[in-house]
Structure 1
């Protein structure tokens, strides 16, 4: 085994022979600290490895490990040698490796690592055997990147529950930045305390998911300064969300939230939300430039939220839609009051009833036509069964004293 010592044992790229001249090893500026200083970097990008065995020979002086663009579905136990110290290792980038499982004993001797990047993988973390202490040896971890990291075959609500357990077991008490973009997350409300396991968290990135509201707790995160919710599907923040955000401002000097490129709806339901944008102490980054993707009157569509003045909703009354302070859905026939998020159904529209009636008549006519043209076949098939059933009904309908007597021959 090579320990990165003798130059005579290195390949032409400066790496141990087990790296097969596919990687580069040496000093270089690192993008992970914005190219400020040179770091001893082992770079295995798009090298086509199907095994991580060569990482057992990782040079002791490695500061940055880039091991990306390979095909390693399962990382083995002790992926780095358990017999050597990596006291200078600061950054591990294992993104885009088709990773599915990281076992609890995969990482050792990584207590100095501050940045771990696992973006663009297919991680499955809902199996009890695989998930308890995945990050437990990253004792000083400050930045964790999990963008597009999880398998789409598992519902986000399930793996978020598992992720909460992982955070709890791993005790990431120094984690400052967490990236969870592009993970098809619809809601975090099933476990709203998930991020409370990260007491030092300063930045939470949840962009490019499917969130419709801000539905998790942050009162337990005294250091939180920035929340990224851009490019989700938020039409407006709920009253509970706005109250929750305002409440934390009593305990800290500042909080920023970014919600650009969401499909905001500008009708009567958004009055409270737009009023909040104008008055809250929370800094909603560049909210005046956010635009209405939908709204009523229709002239609101495309307007910037900061310029919307007229907020109405239509109401179905006397056979037509009229402007009102209530809310309705023209397509479904669902009406809602401005302050009531529960749907009130007023039945199907006349157009819908007409279409359903037409299909019912058409289907009935078709069945009758088929029966007429095949009447002889139907008769020959059904009649024997009919005779049998009527005989059966006749006998079973008799009372005990009417049971036919046995005839003596």
Structure 2
């Protein structure tokens, strides 16, 4: 009786992704099997922290694979035709290649991935300048809905001025017509001034995540995005939202297009905070995380060195006066304590007499009030 019960418990807790090995020899370090992933039972190939130094074995990916998790390895370059030369991977929906130290992605890397809906390239070291020379990088992702590029680029390989140019060239040549969510957090982005239209090719974009960058203002075009519903600006270096910025944001709800923005954890200037809060109250744009919005006082400008010296000297004189005042008070208290008996004998009779007079006066007033009642 005990053995069948034990067997039933083991089967109930059985997790194929950790217990089943892949049948193909190229994946002997990985785990394969049907498991619960994002709320659905899917066939997952998991090659996390397996120590692979190249990704050539991915062309032999099992045909039934729906989710590929290939993270925490040492893959500096992704080869051409990463998943082979045929369409045997039409079931593949999610590809996670994050945290692999990837530096180079060639233009013909992602072929035959027409049904992939989510591509994750977070926490890599992609050379965007080199990638920009092969702008058809994502051209074969015909059904891509979410692209994750959080902390994905090695910004030392490209100038901050060319970042928007290179990224915009990729978007224009990749035909991401179904992309709805784009993550660009933690990429040290300063601005998009060199290519303010870079997002306009993403016609179906709904959520744009730009948090934890170095943006100082909002100067790019998003009125071209007819389905845009959310922009994340949190934890940047934005000091104000000027009248033009607010006008651009207000234009979307006027087209019956709802919009949510997050500008929390930015060093907004206190000089303009009143008008900003008025706009928060009046606009149809939904402001997320209002409780985290704080302003930063502007530093004093134009204070001369002489004035600063005068303030230091004044502070020094003030300290001397304070010290002398404390010393005088201590001396007076010591004098009063030494002569406490003579002072008590002299002052106490007067205090006692005054107290009695006050008591009688108070009683008389109380009685008069009661009579009035």
The bucket for the TM-score relative to the shorter chain is 0.7 to 0.9
Counterpart selection for 1:194 from 174, 198, 217? 198
Alignment of 1:4-403 (within 5 A): 13-19=21-27, 21-30=28-37, 34=38, 36-127=39-130, 130-153=133-156, 154-267=158-271, 269-287=272-290, 289-295=291-297, 329-330=299-300, 332-333=301-302, 349-350=305-306
Query: CA offset at residue 238 of structure 1?
Result: 1.7
**More RCO (CA 8 Å, sep 6+):** 2
Tell me the CA shift for residue 253 of structure 1: 3.4
Q: 1:182 to 1:129 in 2, by over 3 A?
A: closer
Report which of the two has the higher share of strand: 1
SS at match of 2:68: strand
Which of 1 and 2 has greater Rg?
2
Cα distance in 1 for partners of 2:132, 2:245 equals 36
Q: Secondary structure at the match of 1:127?
A: helix
Secondary structure in structure 2 of the residue aligned to 1:65: strand
Following superposition, the deviation at residue 12 of structure 1 comes to 6.3
Moved segments of 4+, more than 6 Å: none
Equivalent residues of 1:66, 1:92 under 8 A apart: yes
Q: CA 1:185–1:247 in 2, change beyond 3 Å: closer, same or farther? A: same
Query: Which TM-score applies when normalising by structure 1?
Result: 0.67
CA separation in 1, counterparts of 2:20 and 2:226?
A: 50
* Partner of residue 381, structure 1: none
In 1, Cα distance between the equivalents of 2:23 and 2:169?
38
Q: Output the aligned Cα RMSD.
A: 2.1
8 Å CA contact 2:36, 2:42 repeated in 1: yes
Tell me if the contact between 2:252 and 2:258 (Cα under 8 Å) persists in the aligned partners.
no
Paired positions, count = 291
Separation in 1, partners of 2:190, 2:54: 34
1:166 is displaced (CA, Å) by 0.5
**CA offset at residue 292 of structure 1?**
2.7
Cα drift, residue 16 of structure 1: 1.1
Gaps of 5+ in 1: 1-10, 296-327, 335-347, 355-409
Question: Which 5+ residue runs of structure 2 have no aligned equivalent?
Answer: 1-18, 311-373
Equivalent-residue separation in structure 2 for 1:80 and 1:93 (angstroms) = 13
Distance 1:353 1:193 in 2: 51
